[in-house]
Structure 1
Amino acid sequence: MISGRIACRSIAVLLAGATLLPLGSASADTADPVPPASGPEAELAPGIPLSLLPLWQLDTPDQALPPKVYKPSEEEEAVEPQDAPEGADDLVEYVDPMDSFGDVTCSEETGQRQREVERWLKRPVDGEQSKGDCQAIRAFQKKHRIRPAIGYAGHVTWATMQLVTASKNPNAAKKCPVREYRVACVDLDRQMAWVQQGRKVVYGPVHIRSGRAGYDTRKGWHRVYWRHKNHVSSLYNSPMPYSQFFSGGQAFHGIYGNIFTGVGSMGCVNLRVEDARRLWVLLKKNDRVYVWGRRPAA
């Protein structure tokens, strides 16, 4: 029955460019995932679906079943994954098409994150775009290379403000447990991750993209149980650079697209390729991962 559902959904992918949703289940609370079921479904792994959509529009499917664990060959491990395509990591704000294609200097549109951005910039918090708001937002966008710098208070601008705030002490709210050993902290509320050892931050914070509604990145304590630098999805034959699995089919890994797309992943913690590369060097098998919060609505 599972294979039948997968076949039907494969047709849906070809017809609509939609994401194929593999099936399966695994405990969300165990430190180590349960052994995979037998059969071809046990070898499914998250990946990027083949479609006619541009890279930045692609989602990253995931499933609860862990991938088939094996020891990569020395030749395989010696190959470094490719860098992301030029421009894939750019901070691009998704704006109204009239603002995007027109000769707009200062957007009059009220952004999805208008109130939060106004508060951060110490502007009057009324949730309505004004000329003063736009000028202040544009100045921030230009400083942090957010395009188009037209003063629109969108998700990318707000995410960048949160990262700037967190840069000195991402665990100021003490939501990630402090331990003597390394802990990879995943903050779903702010869509960022970092690694700390004791009270010292040794990596990040960096932007992430976590699971969308219905396919949430599982919260609580986990453990890195399998790492594969050049993992490829057996379902889509698609690359998952610097994969570090910590809960069933959910893993840290880089994506060859923009992590600021409105839709979340299907459970994995997506990173820019360069951030995934740096995390790969730092984390080791059995390092602990702690996840909390909730991904904000798109």
Structure 2
Amino acid sequence: MRTAVIRTSLAVTGVIALVGGCTAQAVQSGGHAAPSTGAPGSASPGTSAPGRAGTDSGGADRADGKGGSGGKGTADRTSADAKPSASPTPAPKTLYKPGDTGKQVRDLQARLRQVAWLFEGPTGTYGPATTKAVKGFQGKRGLPQTGTTDSVTWARLLKMTHTPTRDELYAAGGQPAAKPDPRCMTGRVLCISKTSRTLSWMVDGKRLMTTDVRFGSQYTPTREGLFHVDFKSRDHVSTIYHTPMPYAMFFSGGQAVHYSSDFAARGYAGASHGCVNVRDKAKIASLFDQVRAGDKVVVYW
């Protein structure tokens, strides 16, 4: 009877335990129960909560909220996206362009003259004639005909030319006046430099006017030294060569400073018979009116 009561009590206890919701614990080896790690009804650690996106070491969250399916597919997409695309060739740097001025432009023009693409100047100003010459040079060599001098055009031109001489740089004149000879620093002087091919009208060491000049050839050289203006002749005609010598100011025998239409037309392609040619008619006319007989003339290197 006692045994039956005990059995009945145990059965009732088991029913109560089931109704109470107790969680059965796994039994570890050795007969010990595994410890509980969460509150009743909670998810165990390491388990994704329902509705959350799954993640892995290579995956990424997707816009539709679904977890990444694995690292391999994402890695493949990333690898494809990371492939470098071919970058366009950068445009060559522009060195000189229309409107530029200075020594570099003069050097460019002198080189274009060497390869017969430019026939005027150099002037030191990047104008329409220079632009046209550059376009022609570029087109002949299969380069884009921009008319501007870029690094590629300049490199090609350098290979075909030599460093311009002083005469080539100033083939059309415009050379800065040379330092005055000491003899030019006092009094009224026509100060004439063969180095810079310039004539400066100076009074008491002050330069009042400068103009391009041309001299005699090697067979009829212009004499150098200190001279004085002997006489002036506004509408002179050479008695030897029978050519006009307007605004002539004689300083050494038959040699004079005067206007030359040939110099104005041909530049330094020609030479005088020993005279000092001036091509700027307005300047020589003004100079003629200022210079007096007896004023100094200094011709020097």
TM-score (norm 1): 0.45
TM-score (norm 2): 0.45
Indicate the structure (1 or 2) with the bigger Cα radius of gyration: 2
Which gives a bigger RCO, structure 1 or 2 (Cα 8 Å, sep 6+)?
1
